[in-house]
Structure 1
């Protein structure tokens, strides 16, 4: 099992959800692009949170500036090239975490969704409740559908008003399974591994 974790935007909990799935599947983890926060990267968080003996593959790009990857790369005189990315070879399940949402630019010519398409991976879309999340979710679903990318999981991170959840699920393909993640404000190894033991994957009906 290999899956690419993306979100409907920034700060929706992709890394927490990635840690939970890494622990749940006893998977390896790969962050293709780390943009900023090099003192405590997403890979470091997964290593801290997901349990013992997690294999962490090194980032293809580690960029200093906490900004969109294309801007962070430009600040260092670099251009991110899709051909530089190679999917790690592993016999374990593999969780791949993107940066930001689907339309985050990697360069002037490539977006995050282009990387997903290149790697030919099924997708897990992380959704969090905020004003505008329905719009961002439906646009993300449309983008995946237009590219012919398979949305394996829709991850509902935190609690949702019933009216919001109903609309989101109404526009989600029936082949997509639903994962519900409880609110996790202060993630640590104990809380992440505890949630990983309890999460259920629901058929979307």
Structure 2
């Protein structure tokens, strides 16, 4: 299985947006791409159905996903905006780890599988299993998304150290502007992260996108993400090392 796991340094850093941008860019380069966000919390109830906002964002903005079913893209959904472990307990719905793995590994091997995690790498999914366990089991390399704000340096370096200690391969870092702020922290974060990231490259610094459309996403994807590094992993014989 070839693919990429998108994780964040925290919640609210823009993983869904970045995952969408990369999928668009890879599609433009000729790759057959499919996306999965196996668990989404904070879903909006419509009658008896929970609508996954992130999963629907994929379908709306990635042409190749128009024919895919939302139940395949985001099969596990919770109403409460909590970590999966807490949400499952409150809503009395058991999460099957085996079903998650089976569904992700059943994706056609001809496609590049992009998996978006939940929050950061230590977010608990079930008792004793965390987001990083999912990464290890899938054997996918990681792109780390950090929100460009005060605290980004600390959160990014901690995440990189954690992944390195578990021998999880990291393709690179994408720094995402989650708002229009232009503080000194926003200006200095990218250079400091690049200096201290122990050789893990910054493969994109994404500006705040005020108006999201098919054209704006395609333009930002092409202009601000380094696909040479990503393709290097996708074209290697064993991208997990």
The reply to whether TM is greater than 0.5 is yes
TM range (shorter): 0.7 to 0.9
Aligned-residue offset at 1:146: 0.9
- Match in the other structure for 1:128: 147
Worse-superposed segment, 29-38 or 116-125? 29-38
Matches within 5 A, 1:15-94: 15-26=16-27, 27-37=33-43, 38-50=50-62, 52-54=63-65, 56=68, 57-85=72-100, 86=102, 87=104, 88-90=106-108, 91-94=110-113
Q: Deviations over 1:81-112 (max 9, x none)?
A: 43222224221222111111111111231111
TM-score by length of 1: 0.88
Q: Deviations over 1:14-60 (max 9, x none)?
A: 1110110111112211111111224342111011122x232643334
Aligned length: 202
Aligned-residue offset at 1:197: 2.9
Structure 2 Cα separation of the partners of residues 106 and 200 of structure 1: 30
- Match in the other structure for 2:167: 148
TM-score by length of 2: 0.76
Structure 2 Cα separation of the partners of residues 192 and 119 of structure 1: 28
Bigger Rg over Cα: 2
Aligned-residue offset at 1:188: 2.7
- Match in the other structure for 1:188: 213
In the alignment, structure 1 segments of 5+ residues that lack a partner are none
- Match in the other structure for 1:165: 190
Q: What is the DSSP-based 3-state SS (H/G/I as helix, E as strand, rest coil) of the residue aligned with 2:6?
A: strand
Q: What is the DSSP-based 3-state SS (H/G/I as helix, E as strand, rest coil) of the residue aligned with 1:53?
A: helix
